[in-house]
Amino acid sequence: MVRTVVGYYRYDTASELLLLNEIWRLQSNLTNYFSPQQKLISKVRTGAKVSRKHDKATTAFHRTIDHPGITVDRIVALKRSYSLINLPPRQIAALSTELFTLITSKAADGAPAPVNKRARSREATNHPSRAS
């Protein structure tokens, strides 16, 4: 989840670590409080066909609140933190942009940053040969 937000660069400085920690904190709040997920209830195999049944999609926050083993004090604390959360997607985007700026400026200072380039299927490294 985090790599989709910050990319696949090498982060090795203290300033980058601070930004990454802030992004992870915000992304965690966004995922746990606002992203509903379905949980698998059962999976039945009938021959080659597999039938799956899922429950209703809810957030991790609501699953925790609905759990019978959680105390009232913990529920109150969770609801208080939920009410204080400001939706962070814009903050995450701004921090990701700042992190990208740090990475590109680091690459401009020294040697160019290596670009991960995958070969396309038509760019085979071992060309086929015919034995004739």
Task: Kindly report the length of the chain.
Answer: 132
pLDDT confidence of residue 114: 59
The two structure tokens encoding residue 122: 């038509």
Whether 111 is covered by a domain: the verdict is: no
pLDDT confidence of residue 51: 95
The two structure tokens encoding residue 23: 């992004």
Write the pLDDT tens digit of every residue in 26-35. Answer: 888 788 788 8
Whether 21 is covered by a domain: the verdict is: yes
Whether 114 is covered by a domain: the verdict is: no
Whether 108 is covered by a domain: the verdict is: no
Whether 33 is covered by a domain: the verdict is: yes
Q: What single letter denotes the amino acid at residue 131? A: A
Whether 124 is covered by a domain: the verdict is: no
Structural domain count, the chain:
1
- Residues above pLDDT 90, as percent of the chain: 23
Sign of the dihedral defined by the CA atoms of residues 72, 73, 75, 79, in that order:
positive
| Three-state secondary-structure class, residue 50 | strand
Whether 118 is covered by a domain: the verdict is: no
Residue 77 has pLDDT above 80, yes or no: yes
Range of the domain at 39: 10-102
**Residue with the larger pLDDT of the pair 51 and 84:** 51
Residue 58 has pLDDT above 70, yes or no: yes
Nearest alpha-carbon partner for 28 in 78, 88, 102: 88
| Pairing outcome for strands 49-54 and 40-46 | antiparallel
Per the CB < 8 A criterion, the answer to whether 15 and 1 are in contact is no
Write the pLDDT tens digit of every residue in 3-52. Answer: 777 777 787 888 888 888 888 888 887 887 888 888 999 999 999 999 99
Whether 69 is covered by a domain: the verdict is: yes
